[in-house]
A and B are shown apart, each in its own frame.
Chain A
Amino acid sequence: MLALTEVRRRKLQFGFVTGVVALIAYLIIMVTGLGLGLYEAAGTALLNLNGDHLAYAANSNLSVIRSRLSDEDVAEVRSLPGAEAATPIGYVAAVIEFGPDESDTAAIIGVIPGSFAEPEVVEGRPIESPTEILVDRAWVRVAGTRVGDTLALPVGFETRDFTVAGIVDRGYFFFQPGMYVDLASWQDLVFQGEAMQKPAASLVLLQGRDLAGTRSENWRIVTKEDGFNNIEGVQAQQSTVDALRYMGLLIGAMVIGVFFYVITLQKVSLLGILKAIGAPGPYLVTQGLLQVLVVCIVGAAVAVGLALLTEATVLASDTIPINFTSGAMATSSISVVIAGVVGSLLSARQVASIDPIIAMQQQ
């Protein structure tokens, strides 16, 4: 194969462009991983809730933070004809002390023990009293908390100790590791010391069909996915990440395109000679594309290797929200290869249009 022989004999040239492609592909994989990681950090815990719809306070603009539902609201939603099951959920962010001078923020989610909103534990047991708490693995990674440990949560101007009953694997909520307490404890956490009437919940989690769009003066129901997409910043964040990916692909396509265009220009007289001695145009175009594929596939493979290495070393211990899935890596790699082929189409046209007569005119 002429194309492959050239790659083998011009290692420096092709190695260089393969390296550049690898770096671009690596960047795209990292950005994709970051996008996925941020997406998950934004609210996997919400998406993992065992229901399909969520009722928000009507005036909350679908913000979990601002949503406050009264007992009457919860009862009303619960009695909707389409609602097969409904359970109230509370949310509040709290700073948790887990050691002397050590604290971090967590998303405290109040659930009724035994309800379908309560996550299953992967270690330990479910909560049985208002002073018990379930913590997410994401928190365990940060704080090293274990079953039986005590965590101090702020209640009014005091703190209250909660015993860790079990560990769950539900992910993040609002970029914070989730923790689950009795709904009554949640009410204390949020409203202790405040003179007004305590709201019953932030949201109501629902199981049922055709509920989306149902609303009253005080509440409205949307699908869980809509709820997720309305988490503050999720959409802006995803479009930023997408823009970065497309920029990367565009730059990749341009770098590969320019490189092969320059290579083609350098070889115009050689290509003319090959055509003059009987090489068909499509053969030469195919050979060029073969080189593009080799460069892009090797570059993408190197990038995947680098990404796996990064995951195993830099990211293993850290809390950077990057998540590599094999699907995302495959998509990124294939995108890079496609970008490379698209970028080199200009050169393919150039090759196809070379007139073999230049072989005679070069003297």
Chain B
Amino acid sequence: MAILQLRGVSKSFGQGARRVDAVRDFSLEVDRGEVVALEGPSGSGKTTLLALAGALLTPTAGEIRVDGDDITKYGARARTRYRRDRVGFVFQGSNMVPFLTARENLLLVGEFGAGDRAALRRRADELLDQLDLIPVRDQVATSLSGGERQRVAIARALMRDPSLLLVDEPTASLNFELGTRVVDALLSEVHLRDKACIMVTHDDRMAQRADRLVEIRDGSVLSDRPLR
């Protein structure tokens, strides 16, 4: 069953002559245990699409369902809770809290949400171990390398065990070898725990590791094909 369902989703910014149609009549379903690579040129609407799925933006038209719920109907509080508990974001670039250590960045989600502290600590250590971050877990975020930071970001997105992972160019600042390791860690987590994942990438070699490849042009689906 599909975890994420986008049906005829459009998003435009601005009015009149300055209007930009970033996403147009976009439909996509992502199944449990499936990683969809989203590839397209700059400005084609990839980030906007992730923001829509993550309830950071509301669509101009269309329907977005997560686990069957239409998230476009949510109010402000429900959106905040949705982002906290049901979505894992991995942003491009430096997205750590700079003065916290790798481990503290993971435990951050416990700061503004309910949850058993001890269970969160156990979960954090488990993820740090899975992503080879044990040696650097007490290092302040600013002293981590790009690859380490990217892995911490993935670990943080997985802390609350969300059903949907939205990942924006996770390997942009990494070399091929490191990028592969980061993406593979992500894939194994999605497959192991039956999550749904959209991974935006510019790098075709990374896209080829996903289960499905969707190409986007000017806000619409250009092609959609399975990779295995």
- Chain A: residues with CB nearer than 8 A to chain B? 1-2, 5-6, 9-10, 270, 273-281, 283, 356-357, 359-363
Q: Do B169 and A363 touch (CB < 8 A)?
A: yes
Q: Do B112 and A363 touch (CB < 8 A)?
A: no
Q: Do A278 and B113 touch (CB < 8 A)?
A: yes
Measured between beta carbons, the chain A residues less than 8 angstroms from B172 are 363
A-B contacts, 20 of them at CB < 8 A, read: A1-B111, A2-B111, A5-B100, A5-B104, A270-B98, A273-B95, A274-B97, A274-B112, A277-B83, A277-B109, A277-B156, A278-B81, A278-B83, A278-B113, A279-B80, A279-B111, A280-B80, A283-B111, A357-B51, A363-B47
How many B residues touch A, CB cutoff 8 Å? Answer: 33
Q: Do A278 and B99 touch (CB < 8 A)?
A: no
Q: How far is the CA of A276 from the CA of B56 in the complex (A)?
A: 7
Q: How far is the CA of A357 from the CA of B54 in the complex (A)?
A: 10
Q: Find A359's partner among B91, B100, B104, B113 (CB 8 Å cutoff).
A: B91
Cβ-based interface call for B227 (8 A): no
- Chain B: residues with CB nearer than 8 A to chain A? 47, 50-51, 54, 56-57, 77, 80-81, 83-85, 89, 91-93, 95, 97-100, 104, 108-109, 111-113, 140, 156-157, 168-169, 172
Instruction: Decide: A283 near B50, CB < 8 A? Known: A6-B99, A277-B89.
Output: no
Smallest Cβ distance from A49 to chain B, in angstroms? 62
**19 further A-B pairs in the complex, CB-CB below 8 A; given A277-B156, A283-B112:** A2-B97, A2-B100, A5-B100, A273-B91, A273-B97, A274-B108, A274-B112, A276-B56, A277-B84, A278-B81, A278-B83, A279-B80, A280-B80, A283-B111, A359-B89, A359-B91, A360-B51, A361-B47, A362-B92
Q: Do B169 and A360 touch (CB < 8 A)?
A: no
Q: Do A357 and B56 touch (CB < 8 A)?
A: yes
Interface of B is mostly: mixed
Measured between beta carbons, the chain B residues less than 8 angstroms from A361 are 47
Measured between beta carbons, the chain B residues less than 8 angstroms from A277 are 83-84, 89, 108-109, 156-157
Q: How far is the CA of A356 from the CA of B54 in the complex (A)?
A: 11
Instruction: Decide: A363 near B85, CB < 8 A? Known: A270-B97, A278-B80, A356-B56.
Output: no
Q: How far is the CA of A281 from the CA of B56 in the complex (A)?
A: 14
Q: Whose C-beta in chain B lies nearest to the C-beta of A278?
A: B84
Q: Do A2 and B92 touch (CB < 8 A)?
A: no
Measured between beta carbons, the chain A residues less than 8 angstroms from B77 are 280
Q: How far is the CA of A153 from the CA of B51 in the complex (A)?
A: 90
Smallest Cβ distance from B152 to chain A, in angstroms? 13
Measured between beta carbons, the chain B residues less than 8 angstroms from A363 are 47, 91-93, 168-169, 172
Measured between beta carbons, the chain A residues less than 8 angstroms from B80 are 275, 278-281
Q: How far is the CA of A277 from the CA of B89 in the complex (A)?
A: 7
Smallest Cβ distance from B98 to chain A, in angstroms? 7
Q: Whose C-beta in chain A lies nearest to the C-beta of B95?
A: A273
Measured between beta carbons, the chain B residues less than 8 angstroms from A359 are 56, 89, 91, 95
